[in-house]
Amino acid sequence: MEQYKQPIILLIIALLSILGQSTYSQNKINGKIVDAGSRQPLEFATVAEGRANGNKTTTDHYGNFSLTSKATIETILISLAGYTATIIKTEGQTELKIDLQPNVFNLKDVIVLQKNIATKFSTLAKIDLDLKPVRNTQELLRLVPGLFIAQHAGGGKAEQIFLRGFDCDHGTDVQVSVDGMPVNMVSHAHGQGYADAHFIIPETINNIDFGAGPYYTQHGNLNTAGYVSFGTYTNIPTSRVQIEAGRFDTYRGLAMIDLIKKNKDRQSAWIASEFNYTNGPTDNKQFFKRFNIFGKYNFAISNRTQFTASMSSFSSKWDASGQVPERAVESGLIDRFGSIDPSEGGNTERHNANFLLAHKFTNGTVWENQAFYSWYKFNLYSNFTFFLNDTINGDEINQAEHRNVVGYLSKINRQYNLGSFILQSNYGAGFRHDATQNSQLANVVKRQFLRNTKLGDIKETNGFAYVQQQLSRGKWLIDAGVRLDYFHFDYFDKINTQQKPAQSKTIVSPKINIQYTVSPQVQLYVKTGKGFHSNDTRVVVANNGKEILPAAYGSDIGIILKPTSKLLINIAAWYLHLNQEFVYVGDDGNIEPSGKSRREGIDVIARYQFSKNIFVNMNLNFTKPRAIGEKKGEDYIPLAPTATSTGGLFYKATKGFNGSITYRDIKSRPANNDNSIVAKGYFLLDASLNYTQSKYEIGLAMENLLNVKWNEAQFATTSRLRNEIGETSELNFTPGTPFFLRVKFAVFF
């Protein structure tokens, strides 16, 4: 079979390119849809002909749409959740500018007949973001159905991410981005794909796009379990100043200022900043400080050309109590919120610049060019094994690096009319280059340097190109694409004088997704595709280029049901084969490739609207993750989730009282490969209550409403405490936050 792969891929590319050359003349209307108040371009609005069985389309990131028909288009119907549905008489116009009025969210505006496969889940995220405005970056990630997180370093490290039966560590198997700029750091000092999203101010986020599985042509490295793409506002709806205070000496200040209030269709500018401080619930105060600032400028160079620039700066510093061995708590040595090594902690910062130039040609083609740059600093002190390896000084380590990231992406999008077919063509090419200085793993004592275990400079480059063709006709939609990724890995080892040569590898990833709309109430889909996650540069070079880009092969079979205007259900059965689990253990410098794995599961997403103001949602995820080639009973994948659920009840009104009560539930799961150590599950309730008026808002947030004792991060760890004779393998954990209360006061202007 292997000898046929390359010819098949080349044939797909040729067919897709030939299709992209054909076009037929039909009636066409181009337009742009924006929020009537803020002038924010509205993405994923549905635009339909005002006749029975007429064509439909959706708006792009810039609010643009192109609707074609064999017949003359006399009226169009526009709908978008959270806005008043609008009927527009075209009156012979072929270029339209349409304002939509914000309204109370209504589930009936979510239409099953969407033409773009990618819009389904981003629409659901928009619903959840509208119903439950988030208060921190962690809650942004929790809006993704099936995604769980764990923080285990005083709030300063990137969260540990769990999705679709993966312990993604800090991002190994989930790709995260904001405004098209990658969040993940490849070949990071603390772990491959490290995704620290704390530079994102949650109130700046307008859209969350996400997808499970490796089926999306525009997403490459690390997109195996899925991807999450955040999008910030082009124009903010209002300026605000906000202060918050809560238990454990927790304080937050936020300011979002609209700098240009007039003629926003021509240009807009706004700036946001936040400051966070907390001592946390631990016995040793965390002294956690984080400062963020973000600014964005948009300028319409012409009616068809848009320039966007954004810059952000983030710095954070904290102390951490670290992981707690169960035996230390049971013996009374410390309590749950105590610490074996209170000198853990660290500091980090990231500074970003992101530029985008988009032009729409008269034939409807959109050409986007994006360039980004990040300067990054990371410094972390941890102690996982205490006195296992060094009975005198202890096992505290320091992981650190300085990094420059530069990238560029060029995309072309074009819609063609092929008789009764509509072809949406997407082409893209670009690169990303990471260069680190002094990527370090060192032994330390109370943050004082002892010796280096690893020290060197990394250079990693990823060049890529892709073609994606989405062909629709009537009830059918076929989305086919292929992606080519080239990697170059180079490592200069500053400890070993003998250097190993740089390594390179190319991988081709085909994808195909098919969707069939049975009726306005039922839609079926099949997704298949190949994805991959890259290995750490230090591993690649040390292993002479073996197993550089482990591939993932997946498929989903799903159904979307909308039996009534108030109920939406998505059920998917899926399978994923991974050629190699994560191989680099950044905490101790080991290079031990692990084997193949498989995961199969069922995901259920449900949204229901009881009345104009009352909503309920629920997400259920069941997974069976197993290692391939291991003995039965010894083939568990440590920390891989097997059953999770999230959901809530929401009361949402434009003014007056708003509130919600939400839950998170994760089942106990194996912490090691034979399930002799178990990571404990938990069930948590959170609640919020807000009183909102046009000029101000008062809010109350409660986390862990039942004051449950729960473990947030959990690991099967072999460790030795001071004065212990031997080592012990058991569950180590960081305690979850007890009942937490926070108040908020915001002023809008």
Provide DSSP, 211-267.
EESS--TT--TT-SSEEEEEEE-SS-SS-EEEEEEETTTEEEEEEEEES--S-TTTE
Q: Is the pLDDT of residue 238 over 60?
A: yes
Identify the three-state secondary structure at position 292.
Answer: strand
Q: Is the pLDDT of residue 126 over 90?
A: no
pLDDT at 131: 74
Strands 181-182 and 174-178: antiparallel
Provide DSSP, 562-620.
EEETTEEEEEEEEEEEES----EETTTTEE-----EEEEEEEEEEEEE-SSSEEEEEEE
Whole-number Cα distances in Å, 286 to 277, 321, 595: 9, 8, 38
Q: Is the pLDDT of residue 336 over 60?
A: yes
Q: Is the pLDDT of residue 594 over 90?
A: no
Q: Is the pLDDT of residue 615 over 60?
A: yes
Identify the three-state secondary structure at position 329.
Answer: helix
C-alpha to C-alpha distance for 272 and 238, rounded to whole angstroms: 12
pLDDT at 50: 82
Q: Is the pLDDT of residue 640 over 60?
A: yes
Residue 84 or residue 431, greater confidence: 431
At 1, is the pLDDT very low, low, confident or very high (cuts 50, 70, 90)? Answer: very low
Of 543, 401, 415, 397, nearest to 469 by C-alpha is: 415
Q: Is the pLDDT of residue 129 over 80?
A: no
C-alpha to C-alpha distance for 281 and 247, rounded to whole angstroms: 8
Provide DSSP, 97-149.
EEEE-B----GGGS-S--S-TTHHHHHHHHHHHHHS--SSHHHHHHTSTT-EE
Q: CA neighbours within 13 Å on the CB side: how many for 53?
A: 7
Question: If you average pLDDT over residues 81-90, what whole number do you get?
Answer: 87
Provide DSSP, 276-288.
EEE--SSSS---E
pLDDT at 37: 86
Q: Is the pLDDT of residue 544 over 50?
A: yes
Phi, psi of 372 (to 5 degrees): -140, 155
Percent of the chain with pLDDT over 90: 74
At 21, is the pLDDT very low, low, confident or very high (cuts 50, 70, 90)? Answer: very low
At 61, is the pLDDT very low, low, confident or very high (cuts 50, 70, 90)? Answer: confident
Using left for φ > 0, alpha for ψ between -120 and 50, and beta otherwise, residue 62 falls in alpha
Q: Is the pLDDT of residue 501 over 60?
A: yes
Of 122, 49, 37, nearest to 79 by C-alpha is: 49
Contact at 8 Å (CB) between 640 and 167?
A: yes
Task: Give tens-digit pLDDT for 550-572.
Answer: 999 999 999 999 999 999 999 99
Contact at 8 Å (CB) between 160 and 713?
A: yes
C-alpha to C-alpha distance for 371 and 357, rounded to whole angstroms: 9
Phi, psi of 384 (to 5 degrees): -100, -30
Q: Which domains does the chain have, with CATH numbers?
A: 2-109 (2.60.40.1120), 119-748 (2.40.170.20)
Q: CA neighbours within 13 Å on the CB side: how many for 284?
A: 17
Task: Give tens-digit pLDDT for 702-729.
Answer: 999 999 999 999 999 999 999 899 999 9
C-alpha to C-alpha distance for 451 and 657, rounded to whole angstroms: 58
Contact at 8 Å (CB) between 182 and 498?
A: no
Q: Is the pLDDT of residue 9 over 80?
A: no
With 0-12 CB in 10 A as exposed, 13-18 as middle and 19+ as buried, what is 429? middle
- End-to-end alpha carbon distance in the chain: 64
Residue 616 or residue 30, greater confidence: 616
Of 506, 554, 527, 525, nearest to 166 by C-alpha is: 554
Whole-number Cα distances in Å, 179 to 3, 212, 353, 417, 625: 39, 19, 11, 30, 32
Query: Residue 12 carries which side chain, given as an amino acid letter?
Result: I
Question: If you average pLDDT over residues 48-72, what whole number do you get?
Answer: 83
Contact at 8 Å (CB) between 292 and 274?
A: yes
3-state secondary structure 420-471: CEEEEEEEEEEEEEEEEEEEEEEEEECCEEEEEEEEEEEEEEEEEEEEEEEE
pTM of the full structure: 0.93
At 120, is the pLDDT very low, low, confident or very high (cuts 50, 70, 90)? Answer: low
Q: Give the chain's mean pLDDT.
A: 91
pLDDT at 58: 84
Strands 226-232 and 174-178: parallel
pLDDT at 14: 47
At 590, is the pLDDT very low, low, confident or very high (cuts 50, 70, 90)? Answer: low
Instruction: Give me the sign of the Cα torsion angle 669, 640, 152, 690.
Output: negative
Length of the chain, in residues: 749
Q: How many CB atoms lie within 10 A of CB 424?
A: 20
Mean pLDDT lowest among 202-211, 458-467, 481-490 = 202-211
Residues 6 or more apart whose Cβ sits within 8 Å of residue 505? 486, 487, 545, 548, 549
* CA-based radius of gyration for the chain: 26
Q: Is the pLDDT of residue 254 over 60?
A: yes
Contact at 8 Å (CB) between 542 and 522?
A: no
Question: If you average pLDDT over residues 193-208, what whole number do you get?
Answer: 94
At 10, is the pLDDT very low, low, confident or very high (cuts 50, 70, 90)? Answer: very low
Strands 95-100 and 27-35: parallel
Task: Give tens-digit pLDDT for 91-105.
Answer: 888 889 999 998 877
Of 77, 24, 28, nearest to 50 by C-alpha is: 77
Question: If you average pLDDT over residues 210-232, what whole number do you get?
Answer: 96
Contact at 8 Å (CB) between 247 and 241?
A: no
Identify the three-state secondary structure at position 17.
Answer: helix
Question: If you average pLDDT over residues 480-497, what whole number do you get?
Answer: 96
pLDDT at 587: 58
Instruction: Give me the sign of the Cα torsion angle 514, 462, 163, 200.
Output: negative
Task: Give tens-digit pLDDT for 366-398.
Answer: 999 999 999 999 999 999 999 999 999 999 999
